[in-house]
Amino acid sequence: MVIHSKTKAVIIGTYGPIGTGTRAEKGNKTIWHTQLASMGEIKAEERETTPKQQYMRDIGECIGKAREDGYETILIGDINIPLNRDKEETDQWREMMRTHDMHNPMEKQWPRENIITFPTQKTCIDHMWVTRKTIDRGAIVKTGVERSRKDYTSDHYMIGARINFTRLMGKIQIQEDKYIQRKRIVKCAVKASKETYKEIAQERWNTTGMRKLRNQATQLDNRARTLGRGGNAKQRKKLQKSMNKCMKAITKQMLTIESLMQGGTKQTKWKNGENAKGCWSDRMVKRMEMYRITLTIARQCSMPSRRKQAKKNMSRILATCRTEYHDLHNEVGMSPPIQATHQQWKKYENRIRGIVRKLMRGMYARRRRKWKTEMKKYKQRREQQRKSPQGLKPYIKTMCYSNQHRKKNRGY
């Protein structure tokens, strides 16, 4: 039970009766008959015909009392009523939940998914129900079914949910997401690109270490099944670290295959490329790239063994600059002959360096890079302040005080 000055919440864990009384009896000692015998202690006016009917009546009264007292109710457990079956008890259960304004968050988040929690009969008999207000406040962050059964031994799948009790208690208002990340769908699961994905993966199987990753993932899976809940915290931490490292390598391989499917190759982003902080247009990217290439050629002028190649490269650069970058073409000029002295080549190198620095200074790349770095830090601080209500408190107080002081001076 969680109580706050504005909102109260209660979590009900439940286990519903199993069986229908039609299975083979063993001396009237089945669970169904045990529950049926216990019903004899209930008053006649409150007694139902079967344990399941009695359970639904009792749980309905429990939820109704909690709702009357103002509690936001969360019901979770092994209900043993199949939601994906057309049965009378299923209709009665849904009608009872609808009466108390209770909703299944798993069905809300996965409307098209056939949720199965009992794989033996392929039914959903483990439920979670919450009030409508809990969903509207955004308190249910995630829901899901854990199907691996690595950390527990049961014939059921484990259901779970992540609940933000701060939102549930109404301590802060719901804030709209400024950015919703695009859901990524792996192309190996898309039917149209499945064959192409498979062909590229087979080509890379022996050459890129994918076979080794497969064996490593299998070993980690077996170790996790063996460890289960029996290991200590240090062993689990070590296993988690190894699994994260393996998954990161597998994800990298999958993204590389997707890049090859699009007809390109995966390249590392160059710090001075089109994603550089100091560039704001394609034209600036090309111009800055041309300046840097010119500086690289200038460095070769002081090396006698590379002057021939430097002269050849400079001729190519000037031919390119003749049509697009007239300022660089007119300022630099032709390089001296290969037989020229070292002082002449050094003087030419220094002249190129001075010209390029002057032209780059006019692009304001350094100033813009510093401005964008500061802007990034400012955005991070503003986002942290938005998430923390306490950070806004001194500013709100100052604003209120300023308004009162201003009205006082104006005389109203």
Identify which of 210, 211, 235, 209 has the alpha carbon closest to the alpha carbon of residue 223.
235
The per-residue pLDDT for 358 is 83
Cα 127–128–129 angle (5° rounding)? Answer: 120
| CB contact at 8 A, 19 and 8 | no
Q: What is the torsional sign of CA 42, 45, 48, 53? A: negative
The per-residue pLDDT for 245 is 92
Q: What is the DSSP string of 68-81?
A: HTTEEEEEEEE---
The per-residue pLDDT for 191 is 75
Residues 150-154: contacts with CB under 8 Å, at least 24 apart: 150/224, 150/225, 150/228, 151/228, 151/229, 152/228, 152/229
Identify which of 138, 94, 257 has the alpha carbon closest to the alpha carbon of residue 187.
257
| CB contact at 8 A, 55 and 16 | yes
Does domain 2-168 sit in CATH 3.60.10.10? yes
Rounded CA gap, 244 and 241, in Å?
5
Q: What is the DSSP string of 128-189?
A: EEEEHHHHHTT-EEEEEEE-S--S---SSPEEEEEE-HHHHTTSS-----S--PPPP--GGG
Rounded CA gap, 179 and 257, in Å?
28
Task: Give Cα 101 to chain centroid, integer Å.
Answer: 31
The per-residue pLDDT for 281 is 64
SS3 of 39-64: HHHCCHHHCCCCHHHHHHHHHHHHHH
Question: What amino acid is encoded at 104 in this protein?
Answer: N
pLDDT in tens, the chain (412 residues): 555 556 788 999 998 887 655 444 445 556 677 788 888 888 888 888 888 888 898 999 999 999 888 888 999 999 989 988 888 899 999 999 999 999 999 988 888 788 899 988 889 999 999 999 888 888 898 898 988 777 777 889 999 899 988 888 776 555 555 556 666 666 676 777 788 888 888 888 877 788 888 889 889 888 888 887 677 888 888 989 999 999 999 888 888 888 787 654 444 444 455 455 555 666 777 777 888 888 888 888 888 888 888 888 888 888 877 767 777 777 877 888 888 888 888 888 888 888 888 887 777 666 777 777 788 788 877 777 666 666 666 666 666 666 555 555 555 4
Rounded CA gap, 243 and 231, in Å?
16
Question: Please, is 50 exposed, middle or buried when counting C-beta atoms within 10 Å of its C-beta (0-12, 13-18, 19+)?
Answer: middle
Rounded CA gap, 228 and 292, in Å?
57
The torsion defined by the Cα of 196, 198, 200 and 201, in degrees rounded to 10, comes to 160
The torsion defined by the Cα of 78, 80, 85 and 88, in degrees rounded to 10, comes to -130
Length of the chain: 412
Q: Alpha-carbon Rg of the chain, whole angstroms?
A: 35
The per-residue pLDDT for 271 is 47
Tokens of 340: 């020229």
| CB contact at 8 A, 293 and 285 | no
Rounded CA gap, 272 and 345, in Å?
28
Question: What amino acid is encoded at 308 in this protein?
Answer: K
